[in-house]
Chains A and B, each alone.
Chain A
Amino acid sequence: MARYESLLDACGNTPLVGLPRLSPSADVRLWAKLEDRNPTGSVKDRAALYMVRGAEAAGRLRPGDTILEPTSGNTGISLAMVAKLRGYRLVCVMPENVSTERVQLLRMYGAEIIFSPAAGGSNQAVAQAKQIAAEHPDWVMLYQYGNEANARAHYETTGPELLRDLPTLTHFVAGLGTTGTLMGTGRYLREKNPDVQVIAAEPRYGELVYGLRNIDEGYVPELYDPAVLTRRFSVGTRDAVLRTRQLVEVEGLFVGFSTGAVAHAALNVAHEALREGRRADVAFMVADAGWKYLSTGGYGGTLAEAEEHLEGQLWA
């Protein structure tokens, strides 16, 4: 049945589609879970809905409250939609170097945006965030990096959907950001089958993003538990762009660059299984489609040009 009482009820239950042309062999198959089919077009709808419902159940959120969330993109858009439908005001703090489509979408959903200068780096972002929180102690932070409801959304929905649709699943690959997707889905899958490989793909940005940071002031999300993962890959901009284009050219899948990075890791482990003569069903997450990133310049021209356009941008 594909009828739902409201948009929020249409969250999750996304299609899992085979990629027969990219799959290395009949015994080593790739599957894409199309999270762009969620209400606002990204995997973050799952976490946003669970975090808001969790805060409501705990009495932290009451109608008319203001939610404050630092976000560089999809979580803000998902929260903006959920907040609108559940009767909350949303204020997003975000860097000014995110794509214009994201900003337009947020404003359409009614969110207010406070920009932080990209050049100020994390120190300025931290100072600004602290100041906002101090000025508005009544605003509610859902804090996706440490909110158990973020991971629980995937433990209760994404994981069961995957195993229902692909009982022979051997590898699960997803992007590593808040780590909620990998922690929740990974825990569920490994509880059901300890042999399942849970593989993280994290974006490796240009130097501008890392260059400003002090090595003693890193950030590891509270949700992150490395014991849930079996492997973790760092994927550079060029590989992410290459795979993003390959997905649309070969399989007709139009995805965002973070999914290109995830596909790169998925192809890596798939070809490894092929070389070692093992059967494999590798499922990977398509976090979102490419629409919001068209203005980055990453979809046209040569790979080198695309890489140059994306340098210094938070493309995942």
Chain B
Amino acid sequence: MAIEVRIPTILRSYTGGAKSVEGAGDTLADLLADLDTRHAGLRGRLVTDQGALHRFVNVYINDEDVRFLGALDAKLKDGDTVTVLPAVAGGAFAIAAAAALAGSR
């Protein structure tokens, strides 16, 4: 069973620079545990110590946000594609600048 996992640039230090890696698991939690056996540290960047998805990480199964599919309990099947992205809703630039301005008010 193979699931393709797309890794954002910022996390490729854990995958030896690979844009995508393969893994296995019936749920997202299983998949991340499996990936961590070959890419040590990757899981720790996506999941908090409390066992939840990191707030600024978005994970998609076949383009759908896992937070609406059960989060780490989201079901996976052979042939699925998992995409990991940093959270940048609103356009990376504008929101970064806006948040900075709001913080300095």
| Chain A residues near B (Cβ < 8 Å) | 68-72, 93-95, 116, 118, 121-122, 125-130, 132-134, 141, 143-146, 176-179, 200, 202, 204-205, 207, 209-221, 224, 226, 229-236, 314, 316
Measured CA separation A121–B46 after assembly (Å): 22
A133-B104 in contact (CB<8A): yes
Interface residue stretch chosen among B22-30, B72-80, B88-96 = B88-96
Q: Do A231 and B97 touch across chains, with their CB atoms under 8 A apart?
A: no
**CB neighbours of B8 from chain A (8 A):** 207, 210-211, 215
Query: Chain B CB within 10 Å — which of A144, A218, A231, A314 has the most?
Result: A218
Does B87 sit within 8 A of A, measured CB to CB? yes
| A144 adjacent to B68 (CB under 8 Å) | no
Expressed in whole angstroms, the minimum distance between the Cβ of A245 and any Cβ of chain B is: 19
B interface residues, Cβ below 8 angstroms from A: 8-11, 45, 54-58, 60, 63-65, 67-68, 83, 85-105
Name the distance in Å between A65's Cβ and chain B's nearest Cβ: 15
Chain A residue nearest to B19 (CB atoms) is A207
Residue of A nearest to B68 (CB): A231
Chain B residues with CB below 8 A from A71, complex form: 94
Bound Cα distance from A116 to B96, whole angstroms: 12
Q: Contact at A130–B104, with CB atoms within 8 Å?
A: yes
Residues of B with C-beta under 8 A to A216: 56
Q: Which of B87, B91, B99, B102 contacts A177 (CB 8 A)?
A: B91
Write the nearest CB–CB distance from B59 to chain A, whole angstroms.
10
**A126: nearest residue on chain B (CB-CB)?**
B100
CB <8 Å contact, B98 and A210:
no
